[in-house]
Structure 1
Amino acid sequence: MMPRIYRPDPSQEIYYAMGYGGNGVMYSAQAGRRVAQLMTGGGQGLDLPIFTSELPSYGMLTPFRRIGQRAMYRWYALKDEVL
């Protein structure tokens, strides 16, 4: 998952950088730089399709994807340790 830069209310100067998914060090530095540019007005022409795109949604299945993710983590941990 790629991090997202989000501004919930365009009338306010509040930004969120979230969703690092295990890639925190590298992407937090990049997201912090981009948020700073946006806040200071230096990022008006920035085209950040990955950072500012909407999070993917799979409809009704979205809340259940974590169940499959946990099952796969356990399966691969078992394969690493036993198999």
Structure 2
Amino acid sequence: MSTPKVEIYTKMYCGYCHRAKQLLDSKGVEYEEYDISLGGPKRQEMVDRKPDARTVPQIFIDDKPIGGSDELAALEREGRLDTLLGL
């Protein structure tokens, strides 16, 4: 099973971003982080990928939008996150 590509759009000083990254880190998952604190092309990319995205973090696993920190935590509670992460 190949390792899925995990991407997370974040902003500085974002507690929810920190919480989501902490969960991914605790599982030993590598991810690509895009800091969109100052806007720019990565912020536009996030909105293009998930048009209703208004908050961070926005998490994508193999290009599938997962949502934010709460959604990631819910997947973990439901026992579905490890499968998505290929663990």
TM range (shorter): 0.3 to 0.5
Higher relative contact order (CA 8 A, sep 6+): 2
**Normalising by the residue count of structure 2, what TM-score does the alignment of the two structures yield?**
0.33
Q: Pick the structure with more helix per residue.
A: 1
**Normalising by the residue count of structure 1, what TM-score does the alignment of the two structures yield?**
0.34
Q: Based on CA coordinates, which of the two structures has the bigger radius of gyration?
A: 1
